[in-house]
Amino acid sequence: MHRAMKVVIITERTILEGVAALIEAGGATGYTHVEAGGKGSRGKRSLRRPQISGVMSNVKIEAIVSDHDTAEAIIEAVATRYFTHYSGIAYVEAVEILRPHKFKV
């Protein structure tokens, strides 16, 4: 097993492409995103309630990077660019991975 960092960003679907671009520009070799629901300071988002073109839906985006500094730079870039005008949270977790060559570790 090899140590790495997981970047997790939960935000509005409308900015997914921009967030993904910042993740890749920050050094991640890829990312995963899934639909997300929940409740926070900006209200409740449900996976079961139909949305118009996904406009009001949220996504959870995860990426694995080699170190804490890289992970922190990515979430800072996302927060600076988007979190003033869009809802979102971001955090970093230490993880252990297989196949480190897939993540530049």
- Tens digits of residue pLDDT in 38-94: 776 655 555 555 555 555 689 999 999 999 999 999 999 999 999 999 999 999 999
Which pTM value belongs to this model?
0.84
Cα–Cα distance, 72 to 48 (Å, whole number): 33
Q: What pLDDT sits at residue 24?
A: 97
Q: What pLDDT sits at residue 43?
A: 58
The whole-number average pLDDT for the span 9-31 is 96
The alpha helices in 14-100, defined as continuous H runs, are 16-25, 68-82
* Structural domain spans, the chain: 2-103
Measured between its terminal Cα atoms, the distance across the chain in Å is 11
The tokens of 40 are what?
């926070």
What φ, ψ does residue 2 adopt, rounded to 5°? -125, 140
Q: What pLDDT sits at residue 45?
A: 53
- Statement: residue 13 has pLDDT above 80: yes
CATH architecture for segment(s) 2-103:
2-Layer Sandwich (3.30)
The whole-number average pLDDT for the span 16-25 is 98
Lowest-pLDDT range, 2-16, 27-41, 49-63, 87-101?
Answer: 49-63
Q: Residue 37: name the closest of 53, 50, 24 by CA.
A: 50
